[in-house]
A and B are shown apart, each in its own frame.
Chain A
Amino acid sequence: MEQIVIAFLCLAILLYFLLGGADFGAGIIELFTSTKNRSRTRQTMYHAIGPVWEANHMWLIIAIVILFVAFPVIYTTMSVHLHIPLAILLIGIIARGTAFVFRHYDAVKDEMQWLYNRIFRYSSFLAALFLGIIAGSVLSGKIDTNATSFADAYVYGWLNWFSISVGLFTTALCGFLAAVYLIGECKTAEDTKRFIKKAEYMNLAAVVFGAMVFVSAQLENVPLLSWVLYNKVGLIAVILASLSLVLLWYLLLKGSTKILRVLAGFQVTMILLAISYAHFPNFIRLKDGNAISLYNTIGPYKTVQSLGWALVLGSILILPFLGYLFYKFQQKEE
Chain B
Amino acid sequence: MFSPIPQLMDDFLAARSQMALSLGFHIVYACIGMVMPFFMAVSHYKWLKTNNEVYKHITKAWSKGVAIFFATGAVSGTMLSFELGLLWPKFMEHAGPIFGMPFSLEGTAFFIEAIALGFFLYGWEKLNKWFHWFTGVVVGLSGLASGILVVAANAWMNSPAGFDFVDGKYFDIDPIKAMFNDAWFTQALHMCLAAFTATGFAVAGLHALMLLRKQHNDFHYKSFKIAATFATICALLQPISGDISAKDVAKRQPAKLAAMEALYTTEKPAPLLIGGIVDEKNKTVSKAIEIPGALSFLAHGDFKAEVKGLDQIPADEHPPVAITHYAFQVMVGLGTLMMLIAAIYFFILWRKKTVLTSSWLLKLFVFATPLGYIALEAGWVVTEVGRQPWIINGIMRTKDAVTPMPGIAWSFYLFSAIYLSLSIIVIFLLYRQIKMVPVHYQSSKNN
**A and B are partners in one complex rather than unrelated chains:** yes
Given A150-B1, A300-B173; A97-B71 close (CB under 8 Å): yes
Within 8 A of B (CB), among A102-146: 102, 104-108
Which parts of B284-334 form the interface with A (CB within 8 Å)?
A: none
Q: Is B98 an interface residue when CB atoms closer than 8 A count as contact?
A: yes
Q: A55-B114, A318-B112 are in contact. Are A325 and B119 (CB under 8 A)?
A: yes
Cα A323 to Cα B174 in complex, Å, equals 34
Residues on B with beta carbons closer than 8 Å to the beta carbon of A95: 418
| Closest beta carbon of chain A to B181's beta carbon, Å | 15
User: How many residues of B sit at the interface, in one of the four size bands?
Assistant: 35 or more
A51 x B121 contact (CB < 8 A):
yes
Contact between B118 and A69 (Cβ–Cβ < 8 Å)? no
How many residues on chain A are close to B (CB under 8 Å)?
Answer: 64
Contact check: which of A50, A69, A87, A306 meets B176 at CB < 8 Å?
A: A306
Q: B79–A90 contact, CB under 8 A?
A: yes
Closest A-chain residue to B162, C-beta based?
A302
Which residues of chain A are within 8 angstroms of B112 by Cβ–Cβ distance? Answer: 317-318, 321
Given contacts A69-B97, A90-B79, A93-B75, are A54 and B173 in contact (CB under 8 A)? no
The verdict on B186 contacting chain A, using a C-beta distance below 8 Å, is no
| Interface: A261 (CB within 8 A) | no
Q: 10 A–B contact pairs at CB < 8 A?
A: A58-B111, A61-B110, A62-B107, A68-B85, A68-B92, A72-B92, A93-B79, A148-B1, A299-B97, A329-B118
Q: Which of B409-443 contact A (CB under 8 A)?
A: 411, 414, 418, 422, 425, 429, 432-433, 435-436
A55 and B118 within 8 A (CB): yes
Q: Mark A230-247, 1 if CB is under 8 A from B, else 0.
A: 000000000000000000
Check if A7 is an interface residue, CB within 8 A of chain B.
Answer: no
Give bound CA distance, A144 to B429, whole Å: 45
Question: When the two chains form their complex, are residues B96 and A101 in contact, meaning their CB atoms are under 8 A apart?
Answer: no
Of B2-10, B260-268, B370-378, the segment with at least 4 beta carbons within 8 Å of chain A is: B2-10
Determine the distance from Cα of A107 to Cα of B67 in the docked complex, in whole angstroms: 12
B89 near A52: Cβ-Cβ < 8 Å: no
Given contacts A57-B114, A150-B5, A310-B107, 18 further A-B contacts (CB under 8 A): A55-B111, A61-B78, A79-B92, A79-B403, A80-B403, A80-B405, A83-B86, A94-B75, A94-B78, A94-B79, A101-B70, A102-B429, A105-B68, A106-B432, A310-B105, A322-B111, A322-B115, A328-B119
Interface residues of A (CB under 8 A from B): 50-52, 54-55, 57-58, 60-62, 64-66, 68-70, 72-73, 75-76, 78-80, 83, 86-87, 90-91, 93-95, 97-98, 100-102, 104-108, 148-151, 153-154, 299-300, 302-303, 306-307, 310-311, 313-314, 317-318, 321-322, 325, 328-329
Chain B residues, CB < 8 A from A72: 92-94, 96-97
Residues of B within 8 A of A (CB): 1-5, 64, 67-68, 70-72, 74-79, 81-82, 84-86, 89-90, 92-94, 96-98, 100-101, 103-108, 110-112, 114-119, 121-123, 126-127, 173-176, 403-407, 411, 414, 418, 422, 425, 429, 432-433, 435-436
- Given contacts A68-B84, A106-B429, A150-B3, whether A329 and B122 have CB atoms under 8 Å apart is yes
Known: A318-B112, A328-B119. Contact between A108 and B75, CB under 8 A? no
What's the least CB distance linking A310 to chain B, in Å? 4
- Residues from chain B with a CB closer than 8 A to the CB of A70 are 97, 100
Taking a contact as CB atoms closer than 8 A, the residue among A51, A66, A90, A314 that contacts B108 in the complex is A314
User: Is there an interface contact between B115 and A321, defined as CB atoms closer than 8 Å?
Assistant: yes
* Nearest CB of chain A from residue B71's CB, rounded to whole Å: 4
B-chain residues with CB within 8 Å of residue A60 when the two chains form the complex: 78
B432: A residues at CB distance < 8 A: 106-108
Cβ of A65 and Cβ of B107 under 8 Å apart? yes
Q: Which residues of B contact A62 (CB under 8 A)?
A: 107, 111
B2 and A98 contact, CB distance less than 8 A: no
Complex Cα spacing A95 to B75, Å: 9
A149 to B3, CA, bound (A): 7
Residue of A with least CB distance to B84: A68
* Known contacts A51-B121, A69-B103, A87 near B411 by CB under 8 Å: yes
